[in-house]
Amino acid sequence: MLNWLRPGSTIGIIGGGSVSRLLALSAKRLGYKVGIIDPDPHCLAHSVSDWHWQADMSNEQLFMDLSMKCDSIIYETENFPSRFVNLMQRAVPVPQGEELLLASQDKMLQKAYLESVRVNIAPFATIVSIEDIEESVKSIGFPCVLKANNTDERFKKHKVLYDEEDIPGTSDLLSQGTCVLEAWIPFDKELCIALVKDKNGQITHFPVTEMTYRQDECYRSMVPARVNNEMEKEVERIGRVIAEGLDFVGVMAVELFATESEALYVNEIVAHPHRAYHYTFDCFPVSQYDTHIKAITGWPIDISYEVTDAIVMHSLTKPDLEEAYTLAQIKPDWQFTFYENTVNTRTNEAGHVAIRTKDSKKTLTSLKDSFEK
């Protein structure tokens, strides 16, 4: 069991993206000091942290130095060797642990775990050569998706294969290492559930959220998800089953595909708070970021929310900024959060807007007219 970490202590965050920025703001509000490690000198969390080490994420010594400088360490990225967690835990708590990170980083390990807890996943095969693809598509069929086995959640590498003519074009992806070939799921909706495990092992969750992806990044989410009550309860059950079998404290997420026939397939395990839940930062009494910080520092957890109206969240990129600045002056009911991303950072993220609405269809149209011209 974790001891309570007193305010004034230092929390180290591995990764400096938008999730890290919002985690840092939550930690600062609770009275903690925050240090981050990220290779980007202008990462999104840089301006809200007490200190920032610009570093190669494969630098073992730097991670060991981080463990000596912090009272607890968390991660918001999978883009570092999981074995570093075990090394750091010799000196300082890393409440999310190594097991959750491994399950998120390694797709084959993740699929083995998901099969062990008996949740539905797409048919798949391990691929190391073009010949493996040629053999596997005989049973998996077209279309199918080839994914790198080990990859950072923010920069997913994959290639969709529609027929045999697409197979030779997979050589670049295969040259990077073992891959996974998955059957294409003709999904109707992409769903996500964020789960919280506290220091006593008790699991709670945030509401099932509907997501929209563009160029492999979640850029829009909506709650409540447009699913029936039975499917919502099944997503909650699946999420809880997955979280129960993993050793961690904090917030993790599970992404799922929902088909028109109401079948559910688990797509990914995400080892940290998910960007689909950015809206909780603006619209919930206690956000997923507050909850994550409280969980890993030993505070009691109380997720209180009542979704009476719909909430739509839209991620803002640098090209969106001028339009967003204009809308911020004329839309008092639109909650804008900007990330101070005005320099040459490695990410195009610039903020997000969260909107409470009684007419989600009208709001989605308004966002499309504003930012998808």
Q: What's the pTM?
A: 0.95
Burial of 319 (0-12, 13-18, 19+ CB in 10 A): exposed
pLDDT value at position 155? 43
Residue 133 CB partners (closer than 8 Å, separation 6+): 127, 146, 161, 167, 170, 181
Q: Which two tokens stand for residue 290?
A: 């507050």
Measure the CA–CA gap between 34 and 5, rounded to whole angstroms: 13
- What gap in Å lies between CA 245 and CA 331, rounded to an integer? 44
Q: Report the share of the chain in percent with pLDDT over 90.
A: 89
> Residue 156 has what pLDDT?
56
Q: Identify the structural domains of the chain with CATH numbers, from first to last.
A: 10-94 (3.40.50.20), 123-183 (3.30.1490.20), 187-371 (3.30.470.20)
Angle at CA of residue 202, ends 196 and 6, nearest 5°:
75
User: What integer pLDDT is reported at residue 130 of this predicted model?
Assistant: 95
CA distance 296 to 152: 22
Average of pLDDT values for 47-70? Answer: 95
The overall average pLDDT reported for the chain is 94
pLDDT, tens digit, for every residue of 206-252? 999 999 998 888 999 999 999 999 999 999 999 999 999 999 999 99
Q: How far apart are CA 97 and CA 244, in angstroms?
A: 14
Q: How confident is the model at residue 154 (pLDDT cuts 50, 70, 90)?
A: very low
What residues does 33 pair with on adjacent strands? 10
Rounded-to-integer distance, Cα 33 and Cα 297, Å: 12
Which pLDDT belongs to residue 150?
82
Confidence of residue 176 (pLDDT cuts 50, 70, 90): confident
**pLDDT tens for each residue of 114-132:** 999 999 999 999 999 999 9
Sequence-distant (≥ 6) Cβ neighbours of residue 272 within 8 angstroms: 19, 74, 75, 76, 77, 96, 250, 251, 252, 253, 292
Q: What is the pLDDT of residues 292-343, one digit of tens each?
A: 999 999 999 988 777 889 999 999 999 999 999 999 999 999 999 999 877 7
Mean of pLDDT values over 5-32: 97
